[in-house]
Structure 1
Amino acid sequence: MSDTQVVDASAAIAASKVVGYTGSGIAGVSAWVGTIDLGFWISIGIALAGFAMNWYFAKKKDKRDEIKLQAFLKSVDKGECNVKD
C-alpha cells in the first residue's frame, strides 16, 4: 500500500465518522423537535414576532431621538435656546 492510498483511506474513514455523527445528531434533534407540541412552536413564533416588532420600533425611536437632538444642538448653537434656570 502506498502513502497516498493510506492517506486516502484515513481521510475516508474520518469523513465517514463525521457524516455518521452528524447524521445521528440531526436525527436526535429532529426526534426531539417532533415530541414538542404545536402550542410550544406557536408561542416561540409569537415571542420572535414580538422581539422583531420591539427591535423595529426601538430603531425608529432612536432615529426620532437623534433628529430631536440635532435640532436642539442647532438651536443652542444659534442662541435660540430660551431655557430659564
Structure 2
Amino acid sequence: MSESTVVVTEASAAAIGSKVSFGGGATSFASFIAGINWLGWIGVGIAIAGLLVNAYFSWQRDKREKAEHTLRMKQLNHECNIEEKT
C-alpha cells in the first residue's frame, strides 16, 4: 500500500471516528431527555468506540511522524545515504 493511501485512510478513519463520537454523545443526550435508559447506554458505547478509534489513529500518525522526523534529522546530519532529488 502506498504512503499516500495510508495517509488518506487514516485521515478518513479519524474523521469518521470524530463523527461517531459526536453521534454517540448526541444519542446519549437524546435518550436522557426521552428517559430511555438502554438507548443511553448504546450512545455511551458508541461514543467510547469513537474515542478508541480516534486514539488508535492518532497513535499511528504519531509513530509515522516520529519515524519521518528521525530520518529527516539523519539526512540533515548526513548520516544516511539518502540524496535529495532536485
**TM-score between both structures, scaled by the size of structure 2:** 0.49
Q: Larger relative contact order (C-alpha < 8 A, sep ≥ 6)?
A: 2
Structure possessing the higher radius of gyration over alpha carbons: 1
